[in-house]
Amino acid sequence: MKSKFQIKLLFIVLIFASIGSRAQEQSQENKLSVKLSGFVWSETIFDTRQTVSARDADVILYPKEEVLDAYGKDINDASSFNMISIHSRAALRITAPDFLNAKVSGLIEGDFVGTSNDKIGLFRLRHAMVKLNWRKTELLSGFYWHPMFPVEVFPQVVSWGGAAPFHVLSRNPQVRFSYMPNSSTRFSITALSQLDFKSNGPNGVSTEYIRNAGIPEMNVQYVTGLNKNLLFGVTAGYKWLKPALSFTNPNETVVKTDQKVGSYHFNAFTKVNLHGNFLRAGAIYGQNMFNFLMIGGYAVENITDSKIDYTNIATGSYWTDFTLKPIKEKYTFGIYAGYSKNYGADATINGDIYARGTNIDYMYRVAPRLVYGKGKFKVRGEVMYNAAAYGTPDASLNFTNSNEVANVRFLLATTLHF
């Protein structure tokens, strides 16, 4: 009798355990959710001068240099008008059941910018990543912002491009591990490669140079003051490129090479909350910054019978952005200012140059903005003054004389978020 009772009791326990297990599995399945968000973004643009830019002159870099005709008139002193909506965007934000006791989330996001000018208007992948979050650690894997573009501190400009080339603009395939000892501090280390934002080289702009190097770019970052009124952070990174698998020496003989060019980059950034008024600022310095959509790159230093050597071209950039607290929750005023300097090559250049803006000594930008609206629909206006000092550099890309040319951009955008 006692044995039969124990069997019945065990059977009941197994039934309830099975029900509990199924309930737990069902609870885990219910954690899966997908949320759609994004916006419709339309722009009207007028430039007083021709510009070096991307995507039908929408993403502006700097004004074009003077090109004089037979009568001494500047050909690039001509205005431009455009209307465009390619930055409209859609995103899927995903939360999934826990994995290895970690909270699981993901993001897939795209727009219609295209990956090049001839693909403008086609749907383009912006982000595709998964995050695992434990109590003090995080693992991110996928296509996401480069660590040199900190999501906590970046220019709040209306114009697209994230204030490039004065600020880094780059998204990369990566694996990032972060450690957060407390709620306000984060240390991360990232290994990454390239996709849309590529380095330059003998075969044009391509990912092949970092792929052939056989080593991922490495970055470390430290941020403190998260969720505080004063935030500060620094990033440091190093990348390796193999520009060529072979070269032709002075004897016109093809020679295999394993030569790489290594380059470093740094930034420091801060955000201050002054009673609802936000001050953001940053400083960037690095070698071979072409893939960050900034000026600079690298060049061939020398070619001998058995070896090819490269030299980096250094770039510095400094920016600040101030946003006033919204007035009546409808009017938001802000202003951005940036300065970038070409610091030249590490050595004398005796060969090809793979860089952007090699005839620019320095450039600067000032852009006040006004945003009107409350809720999902807003109207955004910005006036941007761009100036670039063009000159003839020496063999190390250092300048003694340069002349400024300037462009003024008037931009009006309407945005509907969903």
pLDDT of residue 116: 85
318 vs 166: CA distance, rounded Å: 7
Q: Torsion angle of alpha carbons 386, 287, 395, 70, nearest 10°?
A: -30
pLDDT of residue 31: 82
Contact (CB, 8 A) for 14 and 43? no
What's the sign of the alpha-carbon dihedral 352, 213, 204, 218? negative
What's the sign of the alpha-carbon dihedral 166, 398, 257, 190? negative
Tokens coding 269? 């950034």
CATH fold of 134-417, please? Porin (2.40.160)
The per-residue pLDDT for range 44-58, each reduced to its tens digit, is 999 999 999 989 989
How many Cα neighbours within 13 Å face the side chain of 244?
20
Domain ranges of the chain: 134-417
Tokens coding 62? 């700097």
Q: Torsion angle of alpha carbons 54, 58, 59, 65, nearest 10°?
A: 70
Tally DSSP H helices, then E strands, for the chain: 2, 23
Contact (CB, 8 A) for 140 and 175? yes
Q: From the CB of residue 147, how many other CB atoms can be counted at a distance below 10 Å?
A: 27
Is the omega angle on the peptide bond into residue 173 within 30 degrees of 0, that is, cis?
Answer: no
pLDDT of residue 87: 94
pLDDT of residue 19: 45
Phi–psi pair at 340, nearest 5 degrees: -130, 145
Q: Is 344 left (phi over 0), alpha (psi -120 to 50) or beta?
A: left
pLDDT of residue 218: 98
pLDDT of residue 373: 95
In this prediction, the residues of the chain whose per-residue pLDDT falls under 70 are: 1-30
pLDDT of residue 2: 42
Contact (CB, 8 A) for 120 and 191? no
Beta bridge partners of 357: none
Tokens coding 61? 């870099």
Tokens coding 261? 């060019």
The DSSP 8-state label assigned to residue 65 in this structure reads: P
308 vs 292: CA distance, rounded Å: 25
